[in-house]
Amino acid sequence: MMNGARAEVVVDLDAIAANTAVLRERVGRPLMAVVKADGYGHGLVPAARATLAGGADALGVAVVEEALALRAAGVTAPLLAWLNGPGEDVGAALAADVELSVNAGWGLDEVVAAARATGRTARLHLKVDTGLSRGGATPEQWPDLVAAAARAQADGEVDVVGLWSHLAYADAPTHPTIGLQVSVFEQAVAVARDAGLTDARRHLANSAATVALPETWFDMVRPGVAIYGLDPLGGDPAAHGLRPAMTVQARVLLTKRVPAGVGVSYGHTYSPRSETTLAVVPVGYADGVPRAGSNRAPVLAAGAQRLIAGRVCMDQFVLDVGDDPVEPGDRVVLWGPGTDGEPTAQQWADAVDTIHYELVARIGGRFARRYVGSAGAV
Ligand SMILES: *Cc1c(COP(=O)(O)O)cnc(C)c1O
């Protein structure tokens, strides 16, 4: 009775390319597509290739390992890795032509040492903390960092190609911190330019800012989640011309008729009020289906959306489909674009009190991944 994969994440590469093109067109300036965290769960290399097919000018990842994996797969586009800690293999990054971000003097020292050792000029983005209080040099540290980078640039060891920061509240486009961060950023840029770092590209905007805040676009934007067709503002992505690229689905494993009042799944937190049909779905929290979805999260099964019945287990969950016809092998859709009756990742996020980012980035485990569309395919 099984037809097709037991459980699969279907990724529409054409949607990723089209979303990239829509955003690139909207901003009319270079776009760095963020493909960290395995392309937000869509697959690092295929997602990267699809964004490039859609017109991305550069790629952004968190860690050097992600950048090296892209290079190993033959991706040659400009590529920034920004989450660099002490003792990183900077030499490998330079050898692979990976641009690096520097937050602090010690980070610059490590890059300069690697540049001397390898004889390569390091392409750097200097990060300033304009108010997120996460990465970046504080405005107090910034003049010293900039001066040291300018010296290293004069010595030919580094080339400062970016000046950048990150917003705390871009998903609340009227929040007063946005104007404050923009103004701190502009002051930091002025300090860097005065120190002779005149050629660096300025970039600040994540997806929400790319969609909603033109005053943050500067010389390049850096969207992630919107590339995958999810609305960073939590609304309808179609309002921004975006199309969700991910569909998460599984095949029913087993069905059974049960009498009213049986207890369903661990702890019996669900009981049908009348005789009904249960369907067992073979995915669980080890596959990235949040346990918080127990009795709350919707799925499309047997022609209608229904809440998961009882607890989500490690490998499976149960549905109550009433008297609707369902058979082993039937398709159950957890989330997708929402255009065929299935729930969206946003609906799931609302149900389990998180953001769609977390859901798509964590789905995995024993789900197979299947690509549809041809953008960037090799
Ligand atoms: C993840 C990330 C982005 C992309 O954020 P989205 O909200 O997904 O667009 C941009 N810049 C930095 C520094 C990030 O960490």
Compute the distance between CA of residue 312 and CA of residue 126 in angstroms, rounded to an integer.
Answer: 44
pLDDT score of 113: 97
Please work out whether the CB of residue 34 comes within 6 Å of at least one atom of ligand 1. yes
Alpha helices in the chain (DSSP H): 13-27, 36-41, 44-53, 64-72, 90-95, 105-118, 142-154, 176-194, 207-212, 345-352, 356-362
pLDDT > 70: what percent of the chain?
99
Q: For residue range 359-375, what is the model confidence (pLDDT) as tens digits?
A: 999 999 999 999 999 99
Q: What is the distance in A from the centroid of ligand 1 to the CA of 363?
A: 19
Residue 128 has pLDDT above 90, yes or no: yes
The pLDDT confidence band at residue 4, using thresholds 50, 70 and 90, is confident
pLDDT score of 2: 41
Please work out whether the CB of residue 318 comes within 6 Å of at least one atom of ligand 1. no
Sign of CA dihedral 217, 221, 222, 223: positive
Q: What is the set of active-site residues?
A: 36, 266
Pocket test for ligand 1, best of 16, 40, 166, 206 (most atoms within 8 A of CB): 206
Please work out whether the CB of residue 310 comes within 6 Å of at least one atom of ligand 1. no
Please work out whether the CB of residue 166 comes within 6 Å of at least one atom of ligand 1. yes
Please work out whether the CB of residue 64 comes within 6 Å of at least one atom of ligand 1. no
The pLDDT confidence band at residue 352, using thresholds 50, 70 and 90, is very high
Alpha helices in 123-206 (DSSP H): 142-154, 176-194
**Closest CA to ligand 1's atom 11:** 206
pLDDT score of 1: 41
pLDDT score of 377: 83
Q: Domains plus CATH for the chain?
A: 13-225 (3.20.20.10), 246-372 (2.40.37.10)
Compute the distance between CA of residue 42 and CA of residue 56 in angstroms, rounded to an integer.
Answer: 17
Average confidence score pLDDT of the chain: 97
Higher pLDDT, 54 or 2: 54
The pLDDT confidence band at residue 376, using thresholds 50, 70 and 90, is confident
pLDDT score of 366: 97
At position 205, the amino acid (one-letter code) is A
Q: For residue range 149-173, what is the model confidence (pLDDT) as tens digits?
A: 999 999 999 999 999 999 999 999 9
Q: What is the rounded average pLDDT of the residues 86-98?
A: 96
Helix axes of 64-72 and 44-53: crossing angle, nearest 10 degrees: 70
Q: For residue range 12-51, what is the model confidence (pLDDT) as tens digits?
A: 999 999 999 999 999 999 999 999 999 999 999 999 999 9
The pLDDT confidence band at residue 378, using thresholds 50, 70 and 90, is confident
Counting atoms of ligand 1 from 1, which one is nearest the CA of 164? 13
**Closest CA to ligand 1's atom 6:** 224
Q: What is the rounded average pLDDT of the residues 135-148?
A: 98
Q: What is the distance in A from the centroid of ligand 1 to the CA of 61?
A: 9
Q: For residue range 61-70, what is the model confidence (pLDDT) as tens digits?
A: 999 999 999 9
Please work out whether the CB of residue 32 comes within 6 Å of at least one atom of ligand 1. no
